Amino acid sequence: MKKKKIALIISLFLIGTLVNAIGHPILLIKEKQHNIKINKDNLLEDVKQLAATPQARNHENIASLNQAAQYIADEFSDMGLAPVEQTYKLNGQEYKNIIAFYGPEQGKRIVIGAHYDVCGEQQGADDNASGVAGLLEIARQFQEHKPDTAYRFEFVAYTLEEPPYFRTENMGSHVHAKSLIEDKVEVEAMISLEMIGYFSEEKNSQDYPIGILKWFYPTKANYIAVVGKLGKGKLTRKIKKGIKKGSPIEVRSINAPASVVGIDFSDHLNYWKYDFNAIMVTDTSFFRNANYHQKTDTPETLDYDKMTEVVQGVTYALFNYE
């Protein structure tokens, strides 16, 4: 009987903690008026261009990786930003992150990042051409509207997020995060855009790493998720609130330990390593998209209307970040 009572208490505690993590009381955002209109055609074109390299843009096909990197740099240039290459050597090859900036040079840094490489032989439309397309469109909106800000926004397209370098110091995002420490940059926040283009209205199209989460989250894969580290809910709440206020997209959030499968499955994990405040915006990857790391991850499988809503919401959240 005593053991049953203890088990019940623990279960109630865990459920209470989970509800608190999911619910996130909403923070007020002082609204700045901007007529944000995300261009869906830009998103589609960026995804198609990144997916169309002659060979898969993986760690072995350097020419295709460089073609994708050059496309990103050219897009930054075309919108009036000055792209910078952050290069490093690995196994005799040079790899590069592509970076552009907006805002005062001395401002606290807000990093928005997305990786442009793929795993294996695939086009990688959702993983992660969608994230890079979102990154580029957000940067375009900054250049178009010129929001007044005290922050220095850093747009980073990362190389080598995927296996075999995932969770190693050879990830482009690790190289970048480490450089912020070395340069003593004051970082306000980091936002990783990781797979933001796959949605479904089918019942039971959404899965979860823990069965109990189905009690609190939708069964349809029709929302975007904001994912943060346990105990670091302020940034998660702030971005969630901004997305909800700026876009019709359904948005859910969670702050959980990295031991929960998927919580740290992107570039934000390297910023956590250096104790930076970082979150991931994601369609939840393989918990809904069966094309994950498959040759079927192609541009025509994405929902560009929903993706437009995601980018609209994130842009609004960043424009109004205080």
- Confidence (pLDDT) at 32: 61
Q: How far apart are CA 73 and CA 67, in angstroms?
A: 10
- Confidence (pLDDT) at 155: 99
Q: Let me know: does 270 contact 174? Beta carbons within 8 Å.
A: yes
Instruction: Work out the burial of residue 101: count CB atoms within 10 Å of its CB; fewer than 13 is exposed, 13-18 middle, 19 or more buried.
Output: buried
DSSP-assigned letter for residue 215? G
Q: What pLDDT, in 10s, does the model give residues 41-56?
A: 999 999 999 999 999 9
Q: Identify which of 115, 209, 119, 205 has the alpha carbon closest to the alpha carbon of residue 163.
A: 119
Q: Alpha helix locations (H) across 24-157? A: 40-51, 62-78, 131-145
Q: How far apart are CA 194 and CA 164, in angstroms?
A: 18
- Confidence (pLDDT) at 68: 99
Q: Which fold has domain 2-319?
A: Aminopeptidase (3.40.630)
Q: Let me know: does 190 contact 270? Beta carbons within 8 Å.
A: no
Q: How far apart are CA 216 and CA 297, in angstroms?
A: 29
Q: What pLDDT, in 10s, does the model give residues 245-299?
A: 999 999 999 999 999 999 999 999 999 999 999 999 999 999 999 999 999 999 9
Which residues, 6+ apart, have CB-to-CB distance to 19 below 8 Å?
A: 216
Token digits of residue 34: 């901007």
Residue with tokens 């990144």: 50
- Confidence (pLDDT) at 35: 84
Proportion of the chain above pLDDT 90, given as a percent: 89
- Distance spanning both ends of the chain, measured CA to CA: 52
Based on its alpha-carbon atoms, the radius of gyration of the chain, rounded to whole angstroms, reads 19
Proportion of the chain above pLDDT 70, given as a percent: 89
Rounded mean pLDDT of the chain? 92
Token digits of residue 12: 């109630």
User: What predicted TM-score, i.e. pTM, was given to this entire model?
Assistant: 0.91
Provide mean pLDDT across the span 113-134: 99
Provide mean pLDDT across the span 191-209: 98
Q: Which residues of 1-36 are buried (b: 16+ CB within 10 A; e: fewer)?
A: eeeeeeeeeeeeeeeeebeebbebeeeebeeeebeb
Q: Let me know: does 270 contact 192? Beta carbons within 8 Å.
A: no
Q: Let me know: does 172 contact 158? Beta carbons within 8 Å.
A: yes
DSSP-assigned letter for residue 113? E
> Confidence class of residue 14 from pLDDT cuts 50, 70 and 90?
very low
Q: What pLDDT, in 10s, does the model give residues 131-158?
A: 999 999 999 999 999 999 999 999 999 9
Over 50: is that where the pLDDT of 16 sits? no
Q: Reduce the DSSP state of residue 309 to 3 states and report it.
A: helix
Over 60: is that where the pLDDT of 9 sits? no
Pick the range with the lowest mean pLDDT from 20-29, 121-130, 256-265. 20-29
Pick the range with the lowest mean pLDDT from 10-19, 196-205, 240-249. 10-19
Domain boundaries, the chain: 2-319
Over 70: is that where the pLDDT of 15 sits? no
Over 70: is that where the pLDDT of 89 sits? yes
- Confidence (pLDDT) at 176: 99
User: 164: cis peptide before it, omega within 30°?
Assistant: yes
Residue 16 or 79, more confident: 79
Provide mean pLDDT across the span 192-217: 97
β-pair partners for 241? none
Q: What pLDDT, in 10s, does the model give residues 68-82?
A: 999 999 999 999 999
User: Which amino acid type is present at position 219?
Assistant: T
Residue 94: left if φ>0, alpha if ψ -120 to 50, beta else—which one? beta
β-pair partners for 208? none
